[in-house]
Structure 1
Amino acid sequence: MVSWAPPELGCLLACASSDGNVSVLEFRDNQWAHVIFPAHPMGVNAVSWAPAGAPGAIARKDGGAGTPPARRFVTGGSDNAVKIWDFNTASQAYENTAVLPQGHSDWVRDVTWSPTLLSKTYIASASQDKTVKIWTNASPDMAPGSWTLAKTLEFDAVLWRVSWSLSGNILAVSGGDNKVTLWKEDLKGNWELVREVTE
């Protein structure tokens, strides 16, 4: 799995590998720089960058201009864990700042960070344990301890992929049952099935 960073962060590409490492490639000064570090000891299956803006930026008068974009992404691995990584400018290294709570009981096959800049940010993960988990964080700086499990969606088959719509409010899920389902959060915070595609 590979994932390009939002363009505001520059030319950055994160690569997940079954050897347990994550590589981040950066093109600057007409050459490629390369950072590699261990992330999940049993293998990294997925990686997804956070949006460049902070949660709630779209509703702020300054549009979040006072907050510099953070280099941050999420990974999912064969150790069943979903981890958040932040770039530390002092050490020039990526650090694991959070392991999302109440995680999966089997391999995490995919993770995706919602592109929304509304009051909350969302991460969804798909797993071989036949569940999709959706986490949320309303903290402006995405404080590690502010992540909470918002919803667990249960399915009858293993799950392969999750993907947010460009507006960040609809989640697509695909799995071993040959179906694609679309999910949306209602005004009360409940997640409901809005469409099932079987063809």
Structure 2
Amino acid sequence: MSFQHDAQMNYYGTRLATCSSDNLIKIFEVHYITLICNYDGLLQLKPSGQTYPSAELNGHTGPVWQVCWAHPKFDNVLASCSYDKRVIIWKEISGKWQRIYEWSHHDASVNSISWAPHQYGLTLACASTDTAISILSFNKAKIWTHQIIAKAHEQGCNAVSWAPTVYSTSLIHSDGPLIRKRMVSGGNDNFVKIWSKL
């Protein structure tokens, strides 16, 4: 039996990605959902149609902790992180899921991942037990680059998440320049930290 560690719907709610302790990532097609009331009065969401995965992604050699869909502006892109110290970025190309990038420079489990708002490009933050946060970016030259925040949390990082974009004009109009990138992280040192890049 495998434990399910994470389940994430894509932007449109038509696909579900799950990850588990058996090292697998599964993709399900979820076109619509039926709400069922059981005899005991509990409500249950049941996907209509396909209940088996449309794809199984093999690549990790340890339990997969989290999956995260990129904004659809970048097509069907999914990131995963694992106890095996790696982050894998997957992309659906011609109906088949392929590994397009692998980040294996952490020294311990990668516990959490989060895509930045799409206005910042294809950028992923990764939090690791090795105390560091890495930020992976796909640049205009179509090359993956990285930045490391060393010792972000003294006893390891458990969570990372990006803040929504902030514009210099107003909340209504988004034609001004972006002010800054912000993200938050949480660690085993009992701290939550907000990071900002001006």
Q: Shorter chain as normaliser: what TM range?
A: 0.7 to 0.9
Take 2:140 and 2:90, find their aligned partners in 1: how far apart are those partners?
A: 16
Aligned AA (2:189): D
1:105·1:129 contact (CA, 8 Å) conserved in 2?
yes
Aligned residues: 161
Partner in structure 2 of residue 170 of structure 1: 182
Which runs of 5 or more residues in structure 2 are unaligned? 1-5, 33-47, 167-180
Paired-residue identity, %: 22
1:53·1:117 contact (CA, 8 Å) conserved in 2?
no
Partner in structure 2 of residue 24 of structure 1: 27
2:131·2:155 contact (CA, 8 Å) conserved in 1?
yes
C-alpha displacement at 1:177, in angstroms? Answer: 1.5
| Alignment map for 1:91-130 (pairs within 5 Å) | 92-100=95-103, 103-118=105-120, 120-130=121-131
Larger radius of gyration: 2
Three-state SS of the structure 1 residue aligned to 2:149 is strand
Take 2:88 and 2:19, find their aligned partners in 1: how far apart are those partners?
A: 13
Three-state SS of the structure 2 residue aligned to 1:53 is helix
CA deviations on 1:82-115 (whole Å, 9 max, x unpaired) are 11100122xx3211111136x2010111111112
Take 1:6 and 1:19, find their aligned partners in 2: how far apart are those partners?
A: 26
Three-state SS of the structure 2 residue aligned to 1:48 is strand
C-alpha displacement at 1:28, in angstroms? Answer: 3.2
CA RMSD of aligned residues (A): 2.0
C-alpha displacement at 1:3, in angstroms? Answer: 1.6
Whose RCO is larger (CA < 8 A, sep 6+)?
A: 1
Aligned AA (1:121): L
CA deviations on 1:128-174 (whole Å, 9 max, x unpaired) are 1011111112238xx4xx11112324221111111111228211100
Partner in structure 1 of residue 89 of structure 2: 84
Q: 2:154 aligns with which of 148, 153, 156?
A: 156
1:6–1:153 distance in 2 versus 1, CA, 3 Å: farther
